[in-house]
A and B are shown apart, each in its own frame.
Chain A
Amino acid sequence: DAGVTQSPTHLIKTRGQHVTLRCSPISGHKSVSWYQQVLGQGPQFIFQYYEKEERGRGNFPDRFSARQFPNYSSELNVNALLLGDSALYLCASSLPGVTYGYTFGSGTRLTVV
């Protein structure tokens, strides 16, 4: 069975640009969450989507947005990139309410220059 897949694995963008990161959950998982991990810190919650609806949002500016598609895959969009957006972006999928079933992808390493 395929795990959580994320694309691309690495990305370099310039300040002010826009970026789209993609995530495919484990088959059967209907909930997708996004986390940002800055070097030296733990992952920080950005969004959670379940059944295409936003169920939670972390303390991130409106430049960050996401959506979930009918096949439960998801996109994370970041506009007007700042140097501080450089981080590992992690996607996790889970069955709703099942905390031990939280499976992470390998992440997208975003570097903003």
Chain B
Amino acid sequence: DQQVKQNSPSLSVQEGRISILNCDYTNSMFDYFLWYKKYPAEGPTFLISISSIKDKNEDGRFTVFLNKSAKHLSLHIVPSQPGDSAVYFCAASDALGGATNKLIFGTGTLLAVQP
């Protein structure tokens, strides 16, 4: 049962253009969403997040949009740079109770930014 889905395994974009990575989720109880970036042989690195009470969060070249009614979020990277080439994971926070939580990850999208 895949609660967080990234249906595009890969995406290729020209340098300077916009990259749009998509993510869908099924559990309406998720209250926080995150995007992680992962290079080979490294752990995932936190990129940007959004609370379920917001519909947009921006940090420099990165913007995350949340559409709760559609249970969909997207990550926009503008302008895309070759150094952005990596696997991007969408994750949702699921409370374990008390002050603890776990992350449920999608399967990832490999972004290739062509110079």
Contact = CB atoms under 8 A, between A and B. Distances in A.
Contacts of A99: 32, 34, 49, 93, 101, 103
A102 B99 contact: no
Interface stretch (B12-20, B40-48, B69-77, B78-86): B40-48
Interface residues of B, number: 28
A7 interface: no
A41 B104 CA distance: 12
Contacts of B41: 106
Q: How large is the interface on A (under 10, 10 to 19, 20 to 34, 35 or more residues)?
A: 20 to 34
Contact of B45 (A33, A48, A50, A104): A104
A31 B105 contact: no
B60 interface: no
A42 B100 contact: no
B100 A48 contact: yes
Given A43-B89, A48-B102, A107-B43, A56 B107 contact: no
A99 B41 CA distance: 23
Contacts of A104: 36, 43-45
A58 B102 contact: yes
